[in-house]
């Protein structure tokens, strides 16, 4: 007799409005179908809000990396996966050395900007299928899926070298940091 569907009106690679379409059959007194009514309502704003809320529930608002909860779920999935198959994964725990001192000396805005830059650097060092998360103030974690221990060591060394060479510019100051990885 009736149904509803939510869909964009066309399929392209552009942002199109999403509509909720309600279809109802129209019948005469004898029960014969004489037509249909179609009502469309633009629900793009509601869908976009839901998408944003979903994103925010899984990502760190400062860095855009996964948050602790989302990372935990990825880690548990990887552990279950490796117990069913003979695969190995690597978990890297990263702590920015002397970050609290730097944060106190140059201010929290500089510290936040540095965390954003470090997350970008880390994101460039891992594969798309890996998981990068900010799990604490200046602590990050990386899950290297289907990664042998030797490769994980190489990735950790590359990250340490890259962070060690990086000079963070803030208000005409050049600041350097290092990272410890376990």
Instruction: Please write the tens of the pLDDT for every residue from 48-106.
Output: 777 777 777 889 989 999 999 999 999 999 998 887 887 889 999 999 999 988 888 89
pLDDT at 42: 84
Q: What is the DSSP letter of 12?
A: S
Q: In what order do the strands lie in the sheet containing 131-134?
A: 131-134, 139-144, 90-97, 178-181
Query: 36-40, 51-55, 143-147: lowest mean pLDDT where?
Result: 51-55
pLDDT at 10: 62
Q: Could you tell me if 71 and 46 are in contact, meaning their C-beta atoms sit under 8 angstroms apart?
A: no
Tell me the whole-structure pTM to 2 decimals: 0.73
Q: Could you tell me if 65 and 132 are in contact, meaning their C-beta atoms sit under 8 angstroms apart?
A: yes
Mean pLDDT of 137-164: 95
Output 40-46 pairs: Cβ under 8 A, ≥24 positions apart: 42/17, 42/18, 43/6, 43/18, 43/19, 44/17, 44/18
Rounded to whole angstroms, the Cα distance separating 152 from 161 reads 14
Q: In what order do the strands lie in the sheet containing 2-8?
A: 2-8, 18-27, 33-42
% of residues, the chain, pLDDT over 70: 95
How far separated are the first and last CA of the chain, in Å rounded?
61
pLDDT at 11: 60
pLDDT at 12: 58
DSSP-derived secondary structure for 60-84:
-TTT-SB-HHHHHHHHHHHHHHHHH
Q: Predicted confidence band at 163 (pLDDT cuts at 50, 70, 90)? A: very high
Please report the beta strands in 17-138, taking only residues with DSSP state E, as ranges in sequence order.
18-27, 33-42, 90-97, 131-134
Q: Could you tell me if 90 and 159 are in contact, meaning their C-beta atoms sit under 8 angstroms apart?
A: no
% of residues, the chain, pLDDT over 90: 49
Where on the phi/psi map is residue 63: left (φ > 0), alpha (ψ -120 to 50), or beta? alpha
H/E run at residue 119:
helix 108-125
Structure tokens at 14: 């552009």
pLDDT at 132: 96
Mean pLDDT of 14-21: 77
Is residue 130 pLDDT above 90, yes or no?
yes
């Amino acid at each position: 007799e009736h149904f509803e569907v939510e869909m964009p009106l066309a399929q392209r690679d552009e942002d199109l409005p999403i509509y909720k379409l309600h279809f109802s059959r129209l019948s005469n007194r004898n029960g014969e179908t004489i037509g249909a009514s179609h009502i469309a309502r633009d629900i793009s704003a509601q869908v976009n809000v839901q998408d944003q809320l979903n994103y925010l529930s899984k990502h760190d608002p400062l860095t855009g990396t996964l948050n602790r909860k989302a990372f935990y779920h990825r880690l548990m999935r990887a552990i279950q996966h490796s117990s069913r198959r003979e695969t190995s994964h690597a978990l890297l725990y990263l702590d920015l050395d002397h970050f609290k001192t730097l944060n106190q000396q140059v201010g929290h805005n500089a510290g936040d900007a540095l965390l954003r830059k470090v997350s970008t650097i880390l994101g460039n060092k891992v594969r798309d299928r890996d998981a990068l998360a900010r799990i604490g103030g200046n602590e990050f974690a990386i899950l290297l899926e289907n990664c042998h221990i030797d490769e994980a060591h190489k990735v950790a060394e590359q990250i340490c070298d890259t962070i060690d060479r990086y000079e963070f510019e803030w208000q005409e100051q050049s600041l350097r940091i290092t990272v410890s990885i376990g």
